[in-house]
Chains A and B, each alone.
Chain A
Amino acid sequence: MAEKRPDRTLGRHHDTFWEFCGQGELRLQKCESCDHLHWPVVQKCENCGERNFAWDRMSGRGKVVSWTSFERDYYRGLLPVPYDTILVELEEGPLFMSNPQGFGWQELSPDMPVKLTFVAAEDTAGEFSLPVFERET
Chain B
Amino acid sequence: MADYGAITMPPSDRALSRKTAIVGIGETDYGADYQAERTRPEGWVPPTEETLLTTAFERALADSGLKREDIDGITTSFTYGGPPADEVAKMLGVKARFAQANGNIMAGPLPVACAAIAEGKADTIAMLFAVASRSAGRLFGGMTHSTGGTPDPDEENRTPSSYYYYHPWGWSSQAAHWALIFGHYQWKYGVGEEDLFHVARQVREHAMAQPNAVMRKELTLEAYMGSRYITRPLHLFDICIVNDGAVCLIVRRADLARDLAHTPVDVAGWGHAKVKKNKMHVMVREQLRPQLQEASAQALAMAGVSLAEVQHFEGYDASSFHLINQVEGIGFTEPGTGLAFCRDGQMTVGGRIPTNTSGGNLSQAYMQGWSQVAEAVRQLRGEAGQYQVPGAQVSMTNLAQTDQTHPIVFVRGDR
Partners in one complex: yes
Interface size on A, residues (CB 8 A): 45
The reply to whether A8 and B168 form a contact with Cβ atoms under 8 Å apart is yes
Q: A47 vs B275: C-alpha distance in the bound complex, in angstroms? A: 11
| Chain A residues near B181 (CB-CB < 8 A) | 66
The total number of A-B Cβ pairs within 8 Å is 133
CB distance from A131 to the nearest CB of B (A): 9
The reply to whether A74 and B164 form a contact with Cβ atoms under 8 Å apart is no
**Of A36, A74, A132, which is in contact with the most chain B CB atoms at under 10 Å from its CB?**
A74
The reply to whether A68 and B176 form a contact with Cβ atoms under 8 Å apart is yes
CB distance from B189 to the nearest CB of A (A): 11
A26 is an interface residue with CB less than 8 A from chain B = no
Q: A130 vs B168: C-alpha distance in the bound complex, in angstroms? A: 8
Q: A66 vs B283: C-alpha distance in the bound complex, in angstroms? A: 12
The reply to whether A43 and B183 form a contact with Cβ atoms under 8 Å apart is no
The reply to whether B168 and A7 form a contact with Cβ atoms under 8 Å apart is yes
A41 is an interface residue with CB less than 8 A from chain B = yes
**Of A9, A73, A110, which is in contact with the most chain B CB atoms at under 10 Å from its CB?**
A9
Which residue of chain A has its CB nearest to the CB of B234? A68
The reply to whether A97 and B159 form a contact with Cβ atoms under 8 Å apart is no
A54 is an interface residue with CB less than 8 A from chain B = no
B44 is an interface residue with CB less than 8 A from chain A = no
Q: A87 vs B183: C-alpha distance in the bound complex, in angstroms? A: 10
- Chain B 267-288 interface residues, beta-carbon cutoff 8 Å to A: 276-278, 280-281, 284-285
| Chain B residues near A40 (CB-CB < 8 A) | 159, 165-166
CB distance from B187 to the nearest CB of A (A): 4
Which listed segment binds A: B68-76, B113-121, B150-158, B405-413? B150-158
A105 is an interface residue with CB less than 8 A from chain B = yes
Q: A122 vs B155: C-alpha distance in the bound complex, in angstroms? A: 31
A102 is an interface residue with CB less than 8 A from chain B = no
A42 is an interface residue with CB less than 8 A from chain B = yes
| Chain B residues near A36 (CB-CB < 8 A) | 277
Which residue of chain A has its CB nearest to the CB of B179? A68
Q: A29 vs B173: C-alpha distance in the bound complex, in angstroms? A: 26
The reply to whether A95 and B280 form a contact with Cβ atoms under 8 Å apart is yes
> A71: which of B159, B160, B230 is its contact (CB, 8 Å)?
B230
Q: A53 vs B91: C-alpha distance in the bound complex, in angstroms? A: 54
Interface size on B, residues (CB 8 A): 45
Q: A36 vs B173: C-alpha distance in the bound complex, in angstroms? A: 28
The reply to whether A69 and B170 form a contact with Cβ atoms under 8 Å apart is no
Q: A40 vs B165: C-alpha distance in the bound complex, in angstroms? A: 8
Q: A73 vs B160: C-alpha distance in the bound complex, in angstroms? A: 21
- Chain A 36-68 interface residues, beta-carbon cutoff 8 Å to B: 36, 40-44, 46-47, 65-68
> A110: which of B155, B187, B233 is its contact (CB, 8 Å)?
B187
Q: A87 vs B172: C-alpha distance in the bound complex, in angstroms? A: 13
B340 is an interface residue with CB less than 8 A from chain A = no
The reply to whether B170 and A5 form a contact with Cβ atoms under 8 Å apart is yes
Q: A5 vs B166: C-alpha distance in the bound complex, in angstroms? A: 11
The reply to whether A74 and B165 form a contact with Cβ atoms under 8 Å apart is no
| Chain B residues near A76 (CB-CB < 8 A) | 142-143
The reply to whether B284 and A44 form a contact with Cβ atoms under 8 Å apart is no
CB distance from A22 to the nearest CB of B (A): 13
Q: A82 vs B230: C-alpha distance in the bound complex, in angstroms? A: 10
- Chain A 66-97 interface residues, beta-carbon cutoff 8 Å to B: 66-76, 78-79, 82-83, 85, 87, 95, 97
Chain B 165-195, CB-CB to A under 8 Å as 1, else 0, gives: 1111111110110011101100110000000
In the complex with contacts A8-B167, A66-B187, A72-B230, A42-B157 CB distance below 8 A = yes
B141 is an interface residue with CB less than 8 A from chain A = yes
The reply to whether B149 and A9 form a contact with Cβ atoms under 8 Å apart is yes
CB distance from A30 to the nearest CB of B (A): 14
13 cross-chain CB contacts under 8 A = A5-B167, A5-B170, A7-B168, A8-B168, A12-B158, A65-B284, A65-B285, A68-B176, A68-B179, A69-B233, A70-B171, A72-B231, A82-B232
A-B CB proximity, top 7 nearest: A74-B142, A74-B141, A69-B232, A66-B184, A6-B167, A110-B187, A66-B183
Mark A residues whose CB is within 8 Å of B.
5-9, 11-12, 14, 36, 40-44, 46-47, 65-76, 78-79, 82-83, 85, 87, 95, 97-99, 105, 110, 121, 123, 128, 130, 132
| Known interface pairs A66-B284, A97-B169; 13 further A-B residue pairs with C-beta atoms within 8 A, sorted by A's residue number | A6-B147, A6-B167, A7-B168, A9-B147, A66-B181, A68-B171, A72-B231, A74-B173, A82-B232, A83-B170, A87-B180, A95-B280, A128-B168
